[in-house]
Chain A
Amino acid sequence: MTHRGDRALQVAGLARVEGEGAMRVRVVDGRVSDVRLEIYEPPRFFEAFLRGRRYTEPPDITARICGICPVAYQLSACQAIEDACGVEVGGAVADLRRLLYCGEWIESHALHVYLLHAPDFLGYPGVVELARDHRDIVERGLALKKAGNAILEVLGGRAVHPVNIRVGGFYRAPDRAALATLRPALRRALDDALATVSWVAGFNFPDFTHEHEMLALVEPGRYAIERGTPRTDRGLTFPVREFETHVREEQVPHSTALHAHLAGCGRYLTGPLARFALSRQWLSTAAAQAATAAGLDGGCRNPFRSIVVRAVELTYAVEEALRLIDGYEPPARSYVEVPAREGRGYGATEAPRGTLFHRYELAADGILRSARIVPPTSQNQACVEDDLRRFVQDRLDLDDRRLTHDCEQAIRNYDPCISCATHFLDLTVEREPA
């Protein structure tokens, strides 16, 4: 028998996350002794089988790492390969990439805010049960998600694994009329996104703050999405090509995802909280006003309030998409020629859940010699575990059922994508004798 000071909490199949994982917390003598975010999603070996492929293939192949954020993979891959080949993509083609990425941010953030995370705050197991009591709210979330998916469908051909993206640009650039069809839904989406910020800002948030260093891409002048320079809130900055010098991945026995640390600094956080900390001065007007109204002016270090930041970013992505559509002039050519050459290339973009890094090495004939991918969830894993450790320690008076529920919510703060990280969740809390 265990006595009161010893507990073992576990969730063997975390819900409302992308992919599969578990959580295990062990409490011995009233102290949290061990916290593990276990990722048991089976490995799929992308970095291994990318070797021997043509340099034109990573955008399509790596998209399949994640069905929620395929555009992040496609555009990090394109950027890395273009870097290896010494080609830069600008102008209208670059604007179309940003528009496509806005579509993914809208779709993914709406999915997370409404379908995955909000049910936690309102005490529902999922969106279907939430819809029984608040159908209008769920319909608003689905309309937002649909507006994002519509961008992906018009510009990319389909919402999951879009087909119109190639190294150098797009197979076909849309005409102004095609993009204009997106405007009415996006105008409604802007109102819906602003309503989302007010809605989630009114949730009850546990009193909790993190002390993680935060890393995001920064592109002075605008909120970084599809490109930028890595920077942390403690002043570290480095070019994308030095990512692997500063970010070290290590393997832990309980996970098929690698854990990333900043060399010499330790754990760090990437994603909406980090982006907001580093780039909020560049938010668009409506998004900035919504952030102020939501009480985010002093910054946000409470991971539970990440849902508010996500809603602010949702607003930004909608405004930015409208701006890009209004200013669009079709490019003379839908892509830039990217001739193969021997070399290494590096790419990083801001996936909805954080910075996504790719590196490829090409032979002179365009065949890939090596590939390396660092997804956001493996970067955040150490932070999630640290949050859980501190969170559980302060709430040991709660019963197992309540504590387990709160821990799951704490994990979902990070919108973990386990499919991405495998290379994630069940919750087990073990309370055992010392």
Chain B
Amino acid sequence: MATPTLAVWKFASCDGCQLSLLDCEDELLALAGAVRIAHFLEASSAVADGPYDISLVEGSVTTAGDVARIHRVREQSGVLVTIGACATAGGVQALRNGADVEEFRRVVYARPEYVATLAESTPISAHVPVDYELRGCPISRAQLLELLGALLAGRRPRLPTHSVCFECKSRGTACVLVAAGTPCLGPVTQAGCGAICPAYGRGCYGCFGPAARADTDALAPVLRVAGVAGEDLARLYRTFNAAAPAFRAAAGRAESAAGEATDHEGGGDDPPR
């Protein structure tokens, strides 16, 4: 069998997920022997024409040009894998979704007419079929190597969809939410990072996006006791996976609960969002 070809594509993103591939310092040269890197602009100016056996896609779709480009990438790709929160959920730049993008453009650019952008930042799967996704902001190197190893061996990759809580248990980290009252999204966030934040005494901030069957309603009262509710809870869900359906819905419910509470108190001077 011919050496499989690998392509890496970038859409709106910070480059951190494709850097994770170059960050596999111990495996990079072995990987470069197992695949032919046919398109990876961050690493090489040598570009080979498609089709490509494996495409890794980083970033979200935010321009009309990129809508067309992702379809061309899909057509040329055997297996298409989205890597990171931008590609799987729209990323931090999806914080524009639902906001006034025209106003955003004026805030950042003196001559907004020079800048082309879409109103919403959308995940790759909103445009083309995706074969596998790697979550995270950024992705985990271990998951990336597992995925590439599985694809090269012709088996399915092992990518858990359970919550970060399992990873805290397996590494022996005491629950920061229960033991220290630290607000934590671990119960509703997909595993894969290795539960880094709780190991550093910090609550999970959800950068791997919602776990399968994430019960954000059950977590809300627990987070309230930990001191996070209303607008603060909405902000907690609205970061790097703000447009992932389960997090978007949880943020919306937190915000409307905050609105009702404010009405009862007769306040209402919350800052505009």
Contacts and interface: CB of A to CB of B under 8 A. Distances in A.
Interface of A: 13-20, 41-49, 51-54, 57, 60-61, 64-68, 70, 111, 115, 119, 125-129, 131, 135, 138-139, 142-143, 145-146, 149, 157-161, 163-164, 166, 171-172, 250-253, 256, 258, 363, 365, 367, 408, 419, 423
Contacts, number: 195
Central interface residue in A18, A131, A160, A419, by most chain B CB within 10 Å = A160
Contact of A18 (B42, B103, B116): B42
A38 to B, nearest CB: 11
Contact of B196 (A14, A42, A53, A163): A163
Contacts of A57: 235, 239
Nearest to A144: B25
B174 interface: no
A48 B43 contact: no
B273 interface: yes
B96 interface: yes
B99 to A, nearest CB: 7
B104 A49 contact: yes
Given A15-B45, A61-B239, A149-B23, A43 B117 contact: yes
B200 A171 contact: yes
Contact of B207 (A42, A161, A367): A161
B25 A70 contact: no
Contacts of B15: 18-19, 66-68, 419
B240 interface: yes
B29 A67 contact: no
A104 to B, nearest CB: 12
A43 B15 CA distance: 14
Contacts of B25: 142-143, 145-146, 149
A51 B105 CA distance: 14
Interface stretch (B106-114, B127-135, B161-169): B106-114
A65 B137 CA distance: 12
B152 interface: no
Contacts of A138: 29
B202 interface: yes
Nearest to A171: B202
A250 B232 CA distance: 35
A68 B19 contact: yes
A378 to B, nearest CB: 12
A131 B32 contact: yes
A242 to B, nearest CB: 21
A160 B138 contact: yes
Contacts of B10: 19-20
B200 A172 contact: yes
Contact of B17 (A18, A20, A67, A163): A67
B12 interface: yes
A354 B32 CA distance: 32
8 contacts: A43-B115, A44-B12, A45-B108, A53-B235, A67-B15, A143-B25, A251-B114, A253-B111
Contacts of A161: 16, 137-138, 207
Contact of A363 (B19, B20, B41, B271): B271
A47 B23 contact: no
A149 B20 CA distance: 11
A251 B109 CA distance: 7
Contact of B108 (A17, A43, A111): A43
Contacts of A20: 10, 41
A46 B108 CA distance: 8
Contact of A125 (B23, B46, B116): B46
Contact of A15 (B23, B44, B107, B117): B44
Contacts of B137: 64, 161
Contacts of B40: 126
B183 to A, nearest CB: 12
Contact of B26 (A146, A160, A365, A419): A146
Contacts of A163: 196-197, 200, 202, 205
Given A16-B45, A129-B44, A160 B20 contact: yes
Interface in B52-102: 62-63, 66, 91-93, 95-96, 99, 101
A251 to B, nearest CB: 5
Contact of A16 (B14, B32, B43): B43
B110 A66 contact: no
Interface in B134-179: 137-138
A40 B46 CA distance: 21
A16 B43 CA distance: 5
Interface string B205-249: 101000000000000000000000000100100011000000000
The 6 closest A-B pairs by CB, nearest first: A67-B16, A126-B44, A125-B46, A15-B45, A48-B104, A49-B95
A20 B12 CA distance: 9
Contact of A128 (B26, B37, B93, B239): B37
B28 interface: yes
B196 A126 contact: no
A231 B29 CA distance: 42
Nearest to A127: B43
Contacts of B267: none
Contacts of B117: 42-43
B232 A44 contact: no
B45 A408 contact: yes
A111 B23 CA distance: 9
A111 B109 contact: no
A394 to B, nearest CB: 23
Contacts of B91: 64
B7 to A, nearest CB: 13
Given A68-B15, A138-B29, A48 B44 contact: no
Contacts of B42: 15-18
Contacts of B271: 52, 363, 365, 367
A368 to B, nearest CB: 9
Contacts of B272: 52
Given A61-B92, A160-B20, A164-B202, A423 B108 contact: yes
A434 B244 CA distance: 53
A51 B104 CA distance: 10
A51 B99 CA distance: 12
Contact of A64 (B43, B201, B240): B240
Given A171-B202, A251-B110, A253-B111, A129 B26 contact: no
Contact of B63 (A42, A67, A171): A42
